[in-house]
Chains A and B, each alone.
Chain A
Amino acid sequence: QVQLVQSGSELKKPGASVKVSCKASGYHFTSYAMNWVRQAPGQGPEWMGWINTNTGNPTYAQDFTGRFVFSLDTSVSTAYLQISSLKVEDTAVYYCAREIPTGTSNWFDPWGQGTLVTVS
């Protein structure tokens, strides 16, 4: 079945870096864009951006430029989110989600199970 499996929880100190992986299975990886969504404690989900799995070209939401990097390894159907110079306020659950394209009515299915990144 189509699924996204993310790497496990991370505990990092401020200033460190973290790399979260998202391994896809059950479908042709490069046929769908991959999105990243952040959910901080007690908050709703926040769209971080997406990566074109064909070209590797990333697009970042306004609040996620500079320290956030999306990348791919298509040979293992895996997307990555790297966050550098971690701050306490980066503490959140990070989700990858496959985007189903219909134009401006796109939705996300499936989602990964989430990776908790704690910065302390």
Chain B
Amino acid sequence: QSVLTQPPSVSGAPGQRVTISCIGSSSNIGAGYDVHWYQHLPGTAPKLLIHGNSNRPSGVPDRFSGSKSGTSASLAITGLQTEDEAVYYCQSYDSSLSPWVFGGGTKLTVL
């Protein structure tokens, strides 16, 4: 059972927009700690997608955006492409548990 809650799966057609939620609690996201997002293709290294809630590292397309409000955060992907099919994880800091906590992951399927 992951500390941060994500939907197991989302899907969308090419060109559409999808969002992935990451729900935390008062000891992590709700306490104001930042949320980071990773994209993971099977058999490869997870890749940093968003850091500090909404900041894209160099090279990450602006189709990916992040936001945070209250005890939850969201990753939005616009203009879906087939290469976006992956598992997406959120991560944050928790003041009462192991400092670094993750979501269970959301598998994105591009129909």
Contact = CB atoms under 8 A, between A and B. Distances in A.
A95 B45 contact: yes
Nearest to A6: B45
Given A44-B89, A45-B102, A107 B45 contact: no
A119 to B, nearest CB: 20
A44 B107 CA distance: 12
Nearest 5 A-B pairs (CB), nearest first?
A44-B104, A105-B34, A44-B2, A109-B48, A107-B36
Tier of interface size on chain A: 20 to 34
Contacts, number: 71
B98 A107 contact: no
A106 B94 CA distance: 11
B104 A107 contact: no
Contacts of B6: 44
Interface of A: 4, 35, 37, 43-47, 61-63, 95, 97, 100, 102, 104-114
Contacts of B44: 113
Contacts of A108: 36, 38, 46, 48, 91, 100
B100 A43 contact: no
A4 B45 contact: yes
Given A105-B52, A108-B91, A111-B45, A44 B102 contact: yes
B56 interface: no
A113 B100 contact: no
A102 B105 CA distance: 24
Q: Determine which residue in B33, B38, B44 has the highest number of CB atoms from chain A within 10 A of its CB, and name it.
A: B38
